[in-house]
A and B are shown apart, each in its own frame.
Chain A
Amino acid sequence: MTIKSDPHKCSQLISTISEYVEGTLSPQLCADLEKHLCDCENCTIVVDTLRKTIDLVQTCTEDDCLPNDVRKRLYQRLNLDDYIFNP
């Protein structure tokens, strides 16, 4: 399925969607877009899945850790061996 309903309004939403999901869009534009979202199922899906995309990336990266061997070699390279376990 592709966005085809009222393409002008849909395009307007797409150009401001980033600021909308961050909550930094101006109140007037925000109200306009929320009105449009009430009538446009496609744009509602785009907004929801954009939010979900950002959430997913953050969830996938929050478990990242610095491998112990990488950390050890870093401290050795910086001549900080004596701080490896107790900075």
Chain B
Amino acid sequence: MTEPEKLPISVDALKRGDRTEFARLVDEYSLHIYRLALRMLGNPQDAEDVLQDTFLNALRALPKFEGRSSLSTWLYRIAVNEALIVIRKRKPQVSLTAENEDGDEGENGDEMQIVDWGHLPESDLLSNEAKQHVNQAIQQLPETLRVVFLLRDVEGLSIEETATTLNISQAAVKTRLLRARLRLREDLSNYYHERIQAK
């Protein structure tokens, strides 16, 4: 049996202070915001704080919401900003417009790990230890790359939506996404190479 299609969330109702509509917004996006925050911060308590602060800020800012971006993009932007506040408290030098992540240097393929690990059985690729390693690999990405990767490849935002959410150019999104994906591939190649050699 297919589930009945959900009605789109009404911005007008939200702006009127309709609690039922706000509850629908929370229900629809809370998992996405929590997952993004958890993967950005790697700490469940920090992720929960970001989740709560995102919706509290959204509630306060709703009267000023002009609808120039979608509700989801707007919420993701609030969540990313909240998560960055946490990250900056840990490491004050972090900036989302870090120039060194958008230049032409790097990833030229000279020293890439070439291991054909894609043929490994699912039991190896998706063992609990492997899943833990995947999570650690995401955590080890620089924040500027990690947030782009999470929005695009985990949350499924388009390149344009990711750029709007982060207030950066689409070219910068593409560059950072390429670097994030290649770094993760390299990390996982090293990891699975060790597993293959151990057999």
Contacts and interface: CB of A to CB of B under 8 A. Distances in A.
Interface of A: 1-3, 7, 10-11, 13-15, 17-19, 42, 45-46, 48-54, 56-61, 64-67, 70-71, 73-75, 77-78, 80, 83, 87
Contacts of A57: 134, 138, 153-154, 184
B112 A60 contact: no
Given A49-B115, A53-B181, A70-B48, A14 B31 contact: no
Contacts of A14: 107-109, 112, 182
Interface string B132-150: 0011001000000000000
A61 B20 CA distance: 29
B154 A58 contact: yes
Contacts of B51: 70, 74
Nearest to B54: A74
Q: How large is the interface on B (under 10, 10 to 19, 20 to 34, 35 or more residues)?
A: 35 or more
B52 A77 contact: yes
Interface string B175-199: 0011001101100110000000000
A53 B35 contact: no
A7 B108 CA distance: 9
Interface in B56-110: 56, 59, 107-110
A47 B171 CA distance: 21
A74 B117 contact: no
B169 to A, nearest CB: 15
Contacts of B27: 83, 87
Contacts of B5: none
A56 B122 CA distance: 10
A13 B34 CA distance: 35
A65 B107 CA distance: 34
